[in-house]
Structure formats: structure tokens, C-alpha cells
Amino acid sequence: MTKLSVNINKIATIRNARGGLLPSVTEAAIKLEEFGAQGITIHPRPDERHITRKDVYDLKPLVKTEFNIEGNPHRPFIDMVLEVKPEQVTLVPDGEDAITSNAGWDCKKHLGFLQNVIAEFKNAGIRTSIFLDPNPEMVQFAKETGCDRIELYTEAYATNYPINKEEAIKLYIETALEAQKHGLGINAGHDLSLENLKYFADNIPNLLEVSIGHALISEALYMGMENTVQAYLKRLAKW
């Protein structure tokens, strides 16, 4: 079964809007695991507009499933991840002014840089994943970085799913099959939702993990957090 890792950035966004402590990021992580989430994802950014450095350190001893830290590997991020030692680090090439992640790595162009960064993480025993657009030709270069997994950037799939789901998923299947050939694990994330997740999970081979935040937290406003997590787990279940 594909694991569900819940991105809790939106919890921090709501908290930061008031400048207080509610809702609690740490309590959210604990409750999400109790409700069945199999991982917790955070994406701290340099301006700390949602997840803060303090949150990162507060969460580490509390997460009992898998802790996944996403981010652009500038030096302060690298040092923080090496100190915290999550189960997984996901490298995302987003600029400091990006509202949200909006592209995967050009692994050919940034090969040397990624090799050096990933070597640091792997020497520390941290599993590495890199954010990748659905592009089979980029997989070979992803493999050469030394990463363990790729995370398929699924915004294009989510956008085109209501129009033509077969066409929307085509490149993702091709990229996943190429990743399998190169021995890479496959994660996915960005704009996956209760509406489009099942079709994606049913058709992507060797899908190990999905990271979902914005849609899940939004849907939980109407359905409740526990019901929403269970609904996502049902979408991922293989009968």
C-alpha cells in the first residue's frame, strides 16, 4: 500500500496568521498519526512564513512514523536536516519568493550540485528524494545524482485530470516505469486530492508514498481531520 504522508504547512499558516500558538503544529502531527497518517511532511522556507525552524526541532521527537523534510538545499537547510536527521529529505528547487513549489529539478544542469548535496545526506543515513517533473528523459540524470527516490511533481496531472485523465497521467506512468528501470523509488505530491488520488495511485507502478497537504487540510475543514485521513487511506488501498 502507498503510504500517506501529510504535509502540515497549512496548519502553521493558520497559526501564524494570528501570531499565537493555535492551531498547534505538534498536536496536529500527533493527531494525524493517531488518525492513520503514515508520515508527516514539512517544508520550511527561509522566511518562516509557515513552518519555522523551531517547528522542525519540536516535531522531530514527536513524529513516530516517517518524518519528511522538504526544501531547497541551501546551506542553512542542509545543516538543519543533518542535525535533525529525518527519515527522508526531499529536495525541491523552489525560489525564496515562491508561493509554493512550481517545478522539478533539471538534474542534468544541476548534476554536480545535487551529487554533492545528496552525498552529505546519504553519509548521514538520510533517505533522499528529489522533486521531478514527469519527464522520462530526466530520470537517468536523477539516478546519477545518487538519490534513492524521485517525487513526481503532480500539479500538471491535477490540472488536467478533469479534462482527460488518461492523457493527464500518461507522462507520469512513463516516468515511473523509467524510474523502476533505474532502481529508484517513487513518491508523488502537489495538488493531489480526494478527487484525483485514486486514479493516480491505481496507475502509477511502485508508488511508495504521496505527500498531501493543501487539499487534505482544506477538505478537513468540512469533513473533520480523522474522516479526511481515513478517506485518503481508502483511496490508496489496494483491494
Q: State yes or no: pLDDT of 218 exceeds 90.
A: yes
pLDDT at 96 (0 to 100): 57
157 CB neighbour count, 10 Å cutoff:
25
pLDDT at 135 (0 to 100): 97
Whether 214 has a binding-site annotation, put simply, is yes
pLDDT class for 179, splitting at 50, 70, 90? Answer: very high
Burial class (CB in 10 A: 0-12, 13-18, 19+), 30: middle
pLDDT at 225 (0 to 100): 98
Q: State yes or no: pLDDT of 239 exceeds 70.
A: no
pLDDT at 99 (0 to 100): 46
Whether 182 has a binding-site annotation, put simply, is no
**pLDDT tens digits for 62-115?**
999 999 999 999 999 999 999 999 999 999 997 555 545 567 899 999 999 999
Domains of the chain: 3-236 (3.20.20.70)
Cβ(190)–Cβ(154) below 8 Å: yes
pLDDT at 74 (0 to 100): 95
Active site annotation includes 182: no
pLDDT at 101 (0 to 100): 55
Whether 100 has a binding-site annotation, put simply, is yes
Active site annotation includes 74: no
Q: What average pLDDT does the structure give for the chain?
A: 95
